[in-house]
């Protein structure tokens, strides 16, 4: 089951093109604010959505459009989340209609998404004006532009692609994501668009995605806020020519492994680009009573504001790790917990059996001064394992969100 990283993003898979343009939603004309991904033929489609009770209008429209299990295109604007607007659904539907007319497909074959400020009216005029240019710009090399067009406070584009084999056929899968703040998902996260040329039945695509997010996007947190517009969408157009994956088995397992490689890579990118962040944090928990408790403990650690602040200061304050596990709700014995910190600069054990051990503060500082930090936690209770991703908490997080709307 070899999963090989390759260059590219959503255009790595056969039969997909993409584009991104500035249509005028953003005041800054140098920033793209409208993106498109198109499959040359109908594709199986699956999506998961935010669990926030307040949901952006595009989510309801997308859910209705892919109820039949298929889609052709994804359109997404940035700069305005199209949430809490009286005419939000109307604007989302009109966006799909305008794009469908330009592409010569049905409006029901369009996935629509938005990201940006909540509660601001979204004028359809710039979107309507931008769609012809957006369609004209479609290209097999358009992934970079599409990835840029969905960014808000992101500082880097997030894209990944992999290659794998199903039934003797080479298949590819790629994804792009946006997400920097308001990240603490349940059932989905931020905005993530994944494409693959593998042939997968809609029901199995849906099953794979819903299982995957429990170990990937649901294990990411930047600031503890669950967005109103979170969505993860996967399109599978079958252009690779493999026999359709329509049930459990080796091919389905391989497909899930490829999906996990894509999603977990994007998770690390999102966490590492958290608003104001200087460090990617990964917490790996082993020895939990079961996977559920491992997940609770791991996410508890990376969501602790005190621990995040300590990591910003390169302070090996391991007590904050135990504190976070203690209130996380995980079923664990405090007297069995062990903690180590690791990075490219080395590894250091700071706690055993729930108590501190002697360690070099100088070495610890050096280890925690790197931009990727691994927090290793052993609970000593069983075989459960899990990983979660987050970032440090810096002064800049408050600066960014203090005037985000203005």
Catalytic residue numbers read 189
Residue 338 to residue 351: CA distance in whole angstroms: 5
Q: Calculate the alpha carbon distances from 112 to 77, 138, 234, 369 in Å.
A: 9, 17, 13, 41
Output the DSSP codes for 194-234: EEE-S-B-HHHHHHHHHHHTTTTGGGB-SSSPPPSS-EEEE
Residue 140 to residue 172: CA distance in whole angstroms: 14
Q: Calculate the alpha carbon distances from 326 to 73, 281, 332, 348, 354 in Å.
A: 46, 19, 8, 22, 11
**Angle, helices 124-136/88-103, rounded to nearest 10 degrees:** 20
Residue 34 to residue 14: CA distance in whole angstroms: 23
Both tokens of 199, joined, read: 């042939």
198, 171 in Cβ contact below 8 A? Answer: yes
Number of Cβ within 10 Å of residue 2's Cβ equals 10
Residue 335 to residue 68: CA distance in whole angstroms: 52
Map tokens 């005037």 to a residue. Answer: 403
């Amino acid at each position: 089951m070899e999963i090989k990283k390759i260059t590219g993003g959503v255009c790595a898979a056969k039969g997909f093109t993409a584009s991104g343009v500035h249509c005028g939603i953003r005041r800054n004309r140098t920033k793209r604010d409208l993106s498109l991904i198109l499959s040359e033929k109908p594709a199986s489609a699956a999506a998961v959505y935010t669990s926030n009770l307040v949901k952006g209008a595009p989510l309801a429209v997308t859910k209705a459009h892919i109820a039949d299990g298929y889609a052709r295109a994804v359109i997404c604007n940035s700069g305005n989340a199209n949430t809490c607007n009286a005419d939000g659904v109307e604007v989302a539907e009109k966006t799909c209609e305008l794009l469908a007319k330009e592409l010569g497909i049905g409006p029901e074959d369009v996935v629509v998404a938005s990201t940006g400020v909540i509660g601001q009216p979204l004028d359809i005029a710039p979107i309507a004006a931008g769609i012809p240019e957006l369609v004209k710009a479609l290209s097999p090399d358009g992934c970079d532009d599409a990835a840029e067009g969905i960014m808000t406070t992101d500082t880097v584009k997030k894209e990944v692609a992999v290659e794998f084999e199903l039934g003797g056929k080479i298949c590819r899968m790629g994804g792009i994501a946006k997400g920097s703040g308001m990240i603490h998902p349940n059932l989905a996260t931020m905005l993530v668009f994944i494409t693959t040329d593998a042939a997968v039945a809609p029901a199995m695509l849906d099953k794979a995605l819903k299982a995957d997010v429990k170990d990937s996007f649901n294990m990411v947190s930047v600031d503890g806020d669950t967005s109103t517009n979170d969505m993860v969408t996967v399109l599978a157009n079958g252009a690779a020519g493999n026999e359709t994956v329509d049930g459990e088995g080796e091919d389905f397992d391989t497909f899930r492994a490829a999906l996990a490689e894509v999603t977990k890579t994007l998770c690390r990118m999102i966490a590492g680009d958290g608003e104001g962040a200087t460090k990617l944090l990964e917490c790996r928990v082993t020895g939990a009573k079961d996977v559920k408790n491992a997940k609770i403990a791991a996410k508890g650690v990376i969501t602790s504001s005190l621990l995040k602040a300590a990591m910003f200061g390169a302070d090996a304050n391991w007590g904050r790790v135990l504190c976070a596990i203690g209130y996380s709700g995980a079923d664990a014995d405090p007297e069995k917990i062990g903690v180590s910190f690791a990075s490219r600069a080395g590894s250091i054990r700071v706690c055993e059996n729930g108590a501190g051990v002697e360690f070099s503060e100088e070495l610890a500082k050096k280890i925690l001064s790197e931009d990727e930090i691994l927090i290793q936690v052993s609970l000593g209770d069983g075989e459960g394992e899990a990983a979660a991703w987050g970032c440090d908490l810096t002064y800049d997080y408050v600066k960014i969100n203090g005037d985000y709307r203005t």
